[in-house]
Amino acid sequence: MSKTTLAAIVLAFLGISLVSGCAGPYFKDQIGFGIWAADNDLWDEAIFRWKKVLAQDPQSVAAHNNLAVAYEKKGLWEDARKEYEAALKLAPGNPWVKLNFKHFKDNLEPGKSDKKDKAAQDEKK
């Protein structure tokens, strides 16, 4: 998954969370700061911010989801899986978490990206 796609998914999820009033002002600031950090490839800072939210509110679906995306970006697959599963446990019907977790699992399947690359090349011919 490209950086742009990850950022778009995270931002879309954040927008839904904020509009629904799921996060208080403190959490909005920390989640927003984390998104800014992620957009600027400061993944350790983003992780720090989202962990800070979870320390205060372990039920934050946005923080779990965003943390999973950050772990995925850093190649910390098991940590990413745990955070996606935590987010899904809290919000099993959340379409953004479900989509992110699906992309995560798709990217881990051996050879799947190779098949996508070959199909894209075949279409160009």
Quick: pLDDT tens for 14-67: 554 543 444 455 556 899 999 999 999 999 999 999 999 999 999 999 999 999
pTM: 0.69
Q: Which CATH superfamily is domain 3-124 in?
A: Tetratricopeptide repeat domain (1.25.40.10)
For tokens 């998104």, name the residue.
Answer: 35
Residue 50 contacts residue 72 (beta carbons within 8 Å): no
What pLDDT does residue 108 have? Answer: 86
Residue 81 reports pLDDT greater than 60 = yes
Q: Measuring CA to CA, how many Å separate 64 from each of 71, 111, 113, 117, 119?
A: 10, 28, 26, 30, 33
DSSP state of 26: H
Residue 112 reports pLDDT greater than 80 = no
Q: What is the rounded average pLDDT of the residues 96-112?
A: 87
